[in-house]
Structure 1
Amino acid sequence: MKSLLTSLFCLLCVSVCRVSAIYVPVREYAGTSFFDKWDFYGFYDNTTWGNVTYQDRANATSKRLTYINGAGNAIIKVDNTTNVAPATLIYRDSIRLTSQDTYGVGSLIIIDALHIPYGCSVWPSFWTLGVGKEWPLVGEIDIIEGINLKANNQVALHSTPGCFQAQGVIQSGQTIEGNCSTDAGCIVGETKPNSLGAGFAQAGGGVYAVQMDVAGVFIWFFSRPDIPDDIKNANPSSSVDTSKWGTSSAAYPATGCNITQFFGPQQLILVTTLCGGWAGEPGIYAQTCPGNCVADNIIGPGSPKYDNAFWEIRYIRTYLADGLQAPPAASTTIPPSSTMQGSGSSSPDTSSTGNVRPSSWAVLRSVPCSEFLMIVVGVGALMLL
């Protein structure tokens, strides 16, 4: 009897520490209701110091910077119709969206896009930011990020000291930086073609997915022809199975970074800024674009310079590992602040009431594998007394 109980505990340990594979849907941002569960920033870029003014929802709608096109896809764009005059402070209108829901360990996020903004001075990003504390105390995950005419996406984690990408990880991308507490974060460059820019659009777009699990953070990119069947055939009520997706583009296993320690509840952020501290840095800008970032792009007419500075999104879907409960909506609005900033984008404009309300199984799964092993060993020892 004792050996049977011990075996059952060991089996439970293995199942808890294994990466979750089956995910059930929580929310879909799509179609005419796409913008309903987002907060519009409505402030200037006060953290990455881009030359933009983010519009509130009323202005974004009236200026046609956000709308649903004839195909039912969400368009989020930089202003390309205004002639911006030279001035001491130069800004062009753009959009930054922050999700009202939060997502933590046990979550899966999928974005299906047909077009990602690109062009000289353009800096698009889709990322998550931990809420409730100053950056980066509860982490940041950069899922999509590019600048200017850069052709390949890069992803990153940002954290406090102690979180690293483990060496020898299995991933298809190329590790650029392994320390997640540097200003740039622990970066992995995408090696698959058509992950950004004109190539992404010409290939019909694609899918990005990020999995946050006790076993680690894993990020995939699939160009349109390579999207797995369970994503391709999914509907808002169907589950997906990450075990069928193959090797991820980036892998940050818990052996190098205890995800439950360094990452708290995360909000989704979708944003496009211009120039700023990365795209506009002269040495970086000159790698793919001529002239001066502000003078040769933001000043003057918006077209044709910003005709490709738009997102076209079929949907963003969020999931939880089977057995977890849906997250609460963020409820407390805070003013924009440069003291709570992310490296890839900017600060959160809302604060959350918390992460998912876990079931008892979710609480069990939230214990790091190393600690759970110690618990099992202790319980097993007591059983043998």
Structure 2
Amino acid sequence: MDGTKLPPEYLNRYSSATSRIPGLQLTEIPKTPIAPAVPVSSKQDESPAPRPAWYNPRGWSLRRRLIVAIGILTAIVVIVVGTVEGVRANRYPDYSPLNYKLVDSYEGASFFDRFNYFSDQDPTDGTVVHIRYVNEDAALDLNLTYATDTSAILRVDSVTPKAIGGRNSVRIESWSTYDNGLFIFDIIHTPYGCGTWPALWLTDGYNWPDNGEIDVLETTNEGSHGNDVTLHTTEGCKMNVKRKHTGYPVFSNCDNTTHSNAGCMITGTPSTYGRLMNENGGGIYALEIRDAGIRVWFFPRDSIPGDINSPDPSTWGIAFADFPSTECDIPSHFKNQSIIANIDLCGELAAQPQFYTERDHCPGTCAEFVANNPSSFEDAYWEFASFKVYQAM
């Protein structure tokens, strides 16, 4: 029973019970000796309790518990941050196939009909005359531009013996402008030679750099190192992200205020420009501008895709240059783009000693060479089979 007290009536009920219990007769108890109780040694009580295992937190000091807790929290943070950064580093835009339709074609004898001849002062301080670049009338008179049914030529003056005021050259800009599209440039010959700075590019010359610049082909002097594909933008366009390309990245920040306006560049092999490209019959450069990014492919003459006239870039494999939109909003950085082809002379790039002297081993100074060596510019010409522009429908 538990310790609950019984009511008085129950106590009264059992109060006389002892009178009915038989008396105990001591003589009836057997006389067996009772063994004395053996006292338990007190030493057994004093033996130490077993220590908890080293991995049992119950046996840890407060200091150890704090250290372990901090270590666990740090590991969790590292795992979470690593997972987030891993996901971030693997971001890549969706280049799903687009249905492209032809919207503009520049080819044949009418190739130059929808181009403006830029004849203002050269914005890059180049060595040319007639306000740096010649106008359309002068270009036609001097035979610096002409077109046939099969190709169009744009060249540097290679006749004048003493071009003291600068050597004549040409820069053309398309009347049509583009925010996006797929551009197929069929190129038969690329210009090269000491003192030259040729380019095939897109920009909005009246709103540079706000509307961006895309250099599809650009090099200087002999161009023997290969083609440079480059983007130039305002701040907020970077390429230090996952990319898929066969070229060699040089800079990842496209902001024109960094690296002396070098832009974010992808460089190709020597066969992607100049003498080697020309000897191989030229080829096709394809430029794609879309929200997902900007990509450029180069196809040598003997490797042009069979669908080039009904183009589907998703079948073309890895691009020569890839500029994904991961850290660059393409529509806001590139718009109102004109197609431009030109051959600058010296300028602020080709005349730099690191290129003119050290890399391409050109003689004397750039200005003196350009003025006094007309025959050196016989290979300084573009020859285009066609430009075709497609847009997604």
Q: TM-score, normalised by structure 1?
A: 0.73
Cα–Cα, structure 1 residues 85 and 65, in superposed 2: closer, same or farther, change >3 Å?
A: closer
1:27 & 1:33 partners in 2: Cα distance? 13
Q: Please give the per-residue CA displacement for 1:351-377, whole angstroms capped at 9, x wherever unaligned.
A: xxxxxxxxxxxxxxxxxxxxxxxxxxx
Larger radius of gyration: 2
Query: Counterparts of 1:51-62 in structure 2 under 5 Å?
Result: 51-52=127-128, 53-62=132-141
Q: CA deviation at 1:227?
A: 1.2
1:283 & 1:223 partners in 2: Cα distance? 29
Matching residue within 110, 114, 117 for 1:33: 110
Matching residue within 147, 163, 184 for 1:110: 184
Q: CA deviation at 1:130?
A: 2.9
1:291 & 1:301 partners in 2: Cα distance? 11
Q: Which AA in structure 1 matches 2:99? A: I
2:361 & 2:205 partners in 1: Cα distance? 35
2:302 & 2:156 partners in 1: Cα distance? 28
Q: Please give the per-residue CA displacement for 1:94-139, whole angstroms capped at 9, x wherever unaligned.
A: 000000001113x111111110100011111011103653x21111
Query: Does residue 289 in structure 1 map to residue 361 in structure 2?
Result: yes
Q: CA deviation at 1:283?
A: 2.5
Q: Which AA in structure 2 matches 1:284? A: F
Q: CA deviation at 1:294?
A: 3.0
Q: CA deviation at 1:165?
A: 1.2
Q: CA deviation at 1:300?
A: 2.1
Cα–Cα, structure 1 residues 18 and 245, in superposed 2: closer, same or farther, change >3 Å?
A: closer
SS at match of 1:101: strand
- The answer as to whether partners of 2:144 and 2:169 remain within 8 angstroms in 1 is yes
Cα–Cα, structure 1 residues 263 and 85, in superposed 2: closer, same or farther, change >3 Å?
A: closer
1:230 & 1:253 partners in 2: Cα distance? 24
Q: Please give the per-residue CA displacement for 1:145-167, whole angstroms capped at 9, x wherever unaligned.
A: 01111220011111111101142
Cα–Cα, structure 1 residues 199 and 113, in superposed 2: closer, same or farther, change >3 Å?
A: same
Higher RCO (C-alpha under 8 Å, 6+ residues apart) = 1
Question: What is the RMSD of the two structures over their aligned residues, measured on CA atoms?
Answer: 1.7
Show structure 1 runs of 5+ residues with no match.
Answer: 1-15, 324-385
- The answer as to whether partners of 1:111 and 1:317 remain within 8 angstroms in 2 is yes
Structure 1 or 2: larger helix share? Answer: 2
Cα–Cα, structure 1 residues 293 and 221, in superposed 2: closer, same or farther, change >3 Å?
A: farther
SS at match of 1:278: helix
Q: TM-score, normalised by structure 2?
A: 0.71
SS at match of 1:157: strand
Q: CA deviation at 1:244?
A: 1.4
2:229 & 2:163 partners in 1: Cα distance? 35
- Corresponding residue of 2:126: 50
Cα–Cα, structure 1 residues 301 and 104, in superposed 2: closer, same or farther, change >3 Å?
A: same
SS at match of 1:170: coil
Query: Does residue 81 in structure 1 map to residue 156 in structure 2?
Result: no
Show structure 2 runs of 5+ residues with no match.
Answer: 1-92
Structure 1 runs (4+) greater than 6 angstroms displaced: none
Q: Please give the per-residue CA displacement for 1:291-313, whole angstroms capped at 9, x wherever unaligned.
A: 2243552122411x000000111
Matching residue within 143, 146, 154 for 1:64: 143
- Corresponding residue of 1:353: none
SS at match of 1:93: coil
1:288 & 1:253 partners in 2: Cα distance? 32
- Corresponding residue of 1:341: none
SS at match of 2:284: strand
Q: CA deviation at 1:222?
A: 1.1
1:17 & 1:265 partners in 2: Cα distance? 24
1:292 & 1:228 partners in 2: Cα distance? 44
Q: CA deviation at 1:23?
A: 1.3
Q: Please give the per-residue CA displacement for 1:186-221, whole angstroms capped at 9, x wherever unaligned.
A: 111113x52111101100001111101110011111
- The answer as to whether partners of 2:117 and 2:170 remain within 8 angstroms in 1 is yes
1:282 & 1:258 partners in 2: Cα distance? 35
2:381 & 2:163 partners in 1: Cα distance? 22
Query: Counterparts of 1:164-203 in structure 2 under 5 Å?
Result: 164-181=238-255, 182=258, 183-191=261-269, 193-203=270-280
Equivalenced residues, count: 292
SS at match of 1:200: helix
2:210 & 2:94 partners in 1: Cα distance? 25
- Corresponding residue of 1:161: 235
- Corresponding residue of 2:287: 210
Q: Which AA in structure 2 matches 1:51? A: T
- The answer as to whether partners of 1:30 and 1:314 remain within 8 angstroms in 2 is yes
Q: Please give the per-residue CA displacement for 1:60-102, whole angstroms capped at 9, x wherever unaligned.
A: 1111000125x6210100000111254xxx3100000000001
Cα–Cα, structure 1 residues 104 and 180, in superposed 2: closer, same or farther, change >3 Å?
A: same
- The answer as to whether partners of 2:240 and 2:253 remain within 8 angstroms in 1 is no
Q: Which AA in structure 2 matches 1:65? A: L
- Corresponding residue of 2:334: 263
1:18 & 1:198 partners in 2: Cα distance? 33
Cα–Cα, structure 1 residues 293 and 25, in superposed 2: closer, same or farther, change >3 Å?
A: farther
